[in-house]
Amino acid sequence: MGFSRIVRFVRRLILRPLLAENAMDERTGSRRTRVMSTCLSPEALKKAAILSAIDQYDDAAYGLKRLQKVIYRASKEASVKPFSYCVWRFGQHSRDMTAMLSDMVRDGLVIAEDLPRKTGKSYRLSPVGLAVKECLEPVDRVLPGFGKGLHVAMREVGLQKDSAIDRWAKGSPEVKGRPQGTPLMAEDLPRSTDNLGLNDGQIEDLELALNTGFVSSVCKVMDAMKESDLNLSAIHEWNGEPSVSASGS
């Protein structure tokens, strides 16, 4: 059972009976069941931005500075701003983005490895991170304009040499001549997903898939399943609901 199937299994068969509240739909007068809010949390959206940025690289994103600049440049093209940025030693910098990336490494979504000669770290998506990323396709559905912005960012800065990135960062009009700490960009995330074309189930799945505690727990479950003698081939989905075939045990 893969990550995305575990997400659906937990939401439909565990969370929904435990947490769902019946609410009256004001438009239709019917009752509906909803597990979570119809707005993705800021933490989930920030993780979506980082996962999508790292996923632009064939192997890995080499260096935090590079990743910081890619997300900043992409955000300038988008209608949403996942992180606040200010002027710092190497140009555009976000402390919030750095902290979130560290959390994602700790929780197993991202793999960080030391670069040669202690020049920083490379970042790539873990197997679980890749599975979570699939839930976000396309990223523009949860972060409007950010996916298109990433294409611009990769062309202008993401694939450049370190020296070229430094020139781009320090030569930018918004940075040049300004003291450290000068605000450059304020966090601005959508308050509602009503206009993104997502149904309640998709929103709930995304929130689960990007929940720190849930992802950590699923990693342990998946490792345990690999080491067990369970007949995973007997597990299938019927009408979207996980079940076990009659021959399964």
pLDDT tens for 10-31 read: 655 445 444 444 444 444 444 4
- For residues 27 and 133, membership in a common domain is answered with no
- For residue 199, the enclosing domain spans 3-38+192-226
- For residues 34 and 56, membership in a common domain is answered with no
Total Cβ atoms within 10 A of residue 210: 25
pLDDT of amino acid 42: 85
pLDDT digit string, tens, across residues 157-203: 999 998 999 898 888 888 888 888 899 999 998 776 665 666 777 77
What residue ranges of the chain have pLDDT lower than 50? 1, 13-14, 16-38, 237-249
- Count up the domains in the chain and report the number: 2
Q: C-alpha angle 42/43/47, rounded to 5°? A: 115
- For residues 119 and 59, membership in a common domain is answered with yes
Place of tokens 């308050």: 191
pLDDT of amino acid 117: 75
pLDDT of amino acid 37: 45
Report which of 2, 3, 1 is spatially closest to residue 208, judged by C-alpha positions. Answer: 3
- For residues 220 and 105, membership in a common domain is answered with no
Q: Do the domain assignments include residue 240? A: no
Separation of alpha carbons 14 and 6, rounded Å: 11
pLDDT of amino acid 51: 92
Q: Do the domain assignments include residue 115? A: yes
First-to-last CA distance in the chain?
Answer: 15
- For residues 145 and 175, membership in a common domain is answered with yes
Residue 106's alpha-carbon distances to 109, 119, 190, 219, in angstroms, are: 8, 21, 27, 12
pLDDT of amino acid 160: 92
Total Cβ atoms within 10 A of residue 50: 25
- For residues 61 and 176, membership in a common domain is answered with yes
Sheet strands (E) in the chain: 21-24, 31-34, 61-62, 85-88, 91-93, 110-114, 121-125, 183-185, 235-238, 241-244
- For residues 64 and 150, membership in a common domain is answered with yes
- For residues 207 and 170, membership in a common domain is answered with no
pTM of the model: 0.73
How far, in whole angstroms, is CA 82 from its chain's centroid?
11
Residue 51, both tokens: 């996962």
